[in-house]
Structure 1
Amino acid sequence: MPNERLRAVLASTGWTYAELADAAGVDPKSVERWVNLGRTPRRTTALKAAEALGEDVHALWPALRQARRARTVSPELVALYVQRADLPVSVFVEVLAQARQRIDVLVYAAVFLHEAYPRLNDLLIERAAEGCMIRIAVGDADSANIHQRGREEKFGHGIESRCRNALTHYRPLLGVPGIELRTHGTTLYNSLYRADDQVLVNAHIWGVNAYGAPVWHLRRNSHGGMFDAYAGSFDAVWETARPVGGSTHGTD
């Protein structure tokens, strides 16, 4: 199927196949195939082409938003996303909605969840009512590690505001049986979103906001694997975290 969006951009800007090929470092025949056959270039090539055209790379090639299938890396790896921005919020929601026993969330803020899915608290309340034990740990805005993270991301005090916003989003859950809310001040290497035997791991990269860092979706395959390593990491942070007043204490 032709890439009509790319065709229209080329027509409106006056770019030729040869000019775009030169900007992207490919043969003009490749650009022709992008347009007429709907071929999707490699991500690095697509980024060069999109930058040259002044367009959003995902608008030109939506397929680049899709998860890359795991090869023989690990039997626990369900999917790998190049950056969190490639991952629809619906994936987070679907994973959490499948939980029947446990939901664990470890973040600094992750306010994107509530902003993109305002019913998140309702979902968590529903899961708790069905017997899920839910533990949520958000960043302590007064922690030195939070302040350092803000400097690394070049957001300054912005991350502190996001941590406070996250706490505000979750406060209506205080007192709900089965849900416990804590704040932590750890150096966070990954944000974790666990639902039973599945976990979405958002890596943290120095100087890069979490939305620009990779996400891997894991499903527990055997004891002692990658999943258990991240689950153990959550438990270790949880032990250091401070309960927010009004939380209902669940099992750890």
Structure 2
Amino acid sequence: MANERLRDALARNGLSYEQIAEATGVDQKTVERWITKGRTPYPRHRHVIASMVRETETYLWPDAVVPERKARITESELVKLYPHRNSIPADLWDHLITNATEHVEVLVHAAIFLIERPTFVRDLVRKAEAGARIRLNFGDPASRDVARRSEEEQLGKGTLGSRIRNALAFYRPLQGVEGIEMRFHKTTLYNSIFRFDDEMVVNTHIYGFQGAHAPALHLRRLTAGELFESYSESFEHVWKLSKPATF
């Protein structure tokens, strides 16, 4: 059976059989068999290809990595666990924001702490102008879901919706900027997600606690890992359910 995921990944990245053959040190016929006949490359070749197409090995070859190895690699994706999001050092956020060149993805309710960084919005504009894809997904401030979450976090009725509207005022300069998309979601937010290229902060949510006081995971993507990819897929699911932000 042909490996359509690999075929699609090469096409999306403009890579030819010849380029893959040169990078992996095999002949083009071998590369063709990897795609048309679904043959599985050796681990060293899988790693090279996955890096070139910016996909995980487990996505391109779901059955190639044994469960024990998947588990070990996935554990290694966790750089550090913070007991509270507000205990993440400021210099880590600086590192993540400054070094991102291709993807910035944010799934939150309001995340006012981000716009408290004086240059955050301007940084997003500069990154978009340099070719990065920026996707920001906020809670719909008029939704019942946000109102219920406000009460669950003991903020008081309507408080979270007001926080979102306050935050959105700072994001107005991003409207109409090419490369930047903003949407509203109405989903139950189990985690806030902050992706910067191949690094990510996942802020888990605990009933009765505000996000700043809930744990946060700093992840770094590995090609055969599953943790980073799981949260990335979660972002995509919510994104597809969301509507363009209007404010």
CA distance in 2, matches of 1:150, 1:245: 21
CA distance in 2, matches of 1:176, 1:106: 19
- Quote the sequence identity (%): 43
Q: Which amino acid aligns with 1:90?
A: D
CA distance in 1, matches of 2:142, 2:105: 23
- 8 A Cα contact 2:201 2:218, kept in partner: yes
Alignment partner of 2:76: what SS? coil
* Correspondence for 1:133: 133
Taking only aligned residues, the RMSD between alpha carbons, in angstroms, comes to 1.8
- 8 A Cα contact 1:97 1:127, kept in partner: no
CA distance in 1, matches of 2:94, 2:147: 29
- 8 A Cα contact 2:134 2:181, kept in partner: yes
TM-superposed CA distance for 1:189, in Å, is 0.5
CA distance in 1, matches of 2:180, 2:95: 19
* Correspondence for 1:153: 153
CA distance in 1, matches of 2:233, 2:197: 14
* Correspondence for 2:55: none
* Correspondence for 1:202: 203
TM-superposed CA distance for 1:245, in Å, is 4.7
CA distance in 2, matches of 1:72, 1:173: 37
Alignment partner of 2:172: what SS? helix
Q: Which amino acid aligns with 1:211?
A: A
TM-superposed CA distance for 1:92, in Å, is 2.1
- 8 A Cα contact 1:182 1:241, kept in partner: yes
CA distance in 1, matches of 2:183, 2:74: 34
* Correspondence for 1:55: none
* Correspondence for 2:50: none
- CA gap 1:72/1:103 in 2 versus in 1, 3 angstroms: closer
TM-superposed CA distance for 1:197, in Å, is 1.0
- 8 A Cα contact 2:74 2:226, kept in partner: no
* Correspondence for 2:76: 75
- 8 A Cα contact 2:77 2:225, kept in partner: no
CA distance in 1, matches of 2:163, 2:190: 18
- 8 A Cα contact 1:192 1:201, kept in partner: yes
- CA gap 1:80/1:72 in 2 versus in 1, 3 angstroms: farther
CA distance in 2, matches of 1:179, 1:72: 32
CA distance in 2, matches of 1:73, 1:178: 31
Alignment partner of 2:212: what SS? helix
Unaligned runs of 5+ in 1: 1-70, 247-252
Structure with max Cα Rg: 1
* Correspondence for 2:214: 213
Which runs of 4 or more aligned residues in structure 1 lie more than 4 Å from their structure 2 counterparts after TM superposition? none
* Correspondence for 1:20: none
- Cα deviation digits, residues 140-198 of structure 1 (max 9, x gap): 11111111111111112211111111211211101111001111111101111101111
CA distance in 2, matches of 1:243, 1:147: 20
- CA gap 1:72/1:232 in 2 versus in 1, 3 angstroms: closer
Unaligned runs of 5+ in 2: 1-71
Alignment of 1:1-252 (within 5 A): 74-115=75-116, 117-156=117-156, 157-223=158-224, 225-245=226-246
* Correspondence for 2:37: none
